[in-house]
């Protein structure tokens, strides 16, 4: 992860080491979701986490498993269904019936 500080840890960022667990903030960045959505995923059991003292950690294995599940459900095409941009157009109201 780019948060490794070489002056503190004594290792370079490109050592090929990957953390086994990350903070909730890092998990949000990795998944591209917000804090509320992340904690909803934790509550639903889709992500595994643990507490180490006062710190919560989310396992990288559960993050990878979630991404794999999402890709399987999508058919692994990589293309999301195309939706229109912006708000839907208003449909014109039907014309009032003429009274005879």
| Domain membership flag for residue 81 | no
pLDDT tens over the chain, length 100 residues: 456 556 655 656 566 778 899 999 999 999 999 999 999 999 999 999 999 999 999 999 999 999 999 999 876 565 656 667 778 778 877 777 776 6
pLDDT in the model for residue 20: 92
| Domain membership flag for residue 84 | no
Domain count, the chain: 1
Its domain, for residue 41, covers 22-71
pLDDT in the model for residue 68: 94
| Domain membership flag for residue 87 | no
Nearest to 28 by CA among 15, 40, 44: 40
The pTM score is 0.61
| Domain membership flag for residue 46 | yes
pLDDT in the model for residue 87: 80
| Domain membership flag for residue 97 | no
| Domain membership flag for residue 85 | no
| Domain membership flag for residue 59 | yes
pLDDT in the model for residue 93: 77
| Domain membership flag for residue 35 | yes
């Amino acid at each position: 992860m780019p948060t490794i500080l070489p002056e503190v840890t004594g290792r370079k960022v490109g050592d090929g080491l990957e953390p086994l667990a990350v903070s909730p903030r890092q998990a949000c960045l990795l998944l591209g979701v917000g804090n509320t959505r992340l904690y909803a995923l934790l509550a639903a059991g889709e992500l595994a986490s643990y507490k180490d003292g006062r710190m919560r950690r989310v396992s990288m294995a559960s993050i990878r498993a979630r991404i794999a599940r999402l890709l399987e459900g999508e058919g692994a095409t990589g293309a999301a269904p195309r939706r229109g941009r912006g708000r839907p157009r208003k449909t014109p109201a039907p014309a009032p019936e003429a009274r005879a």
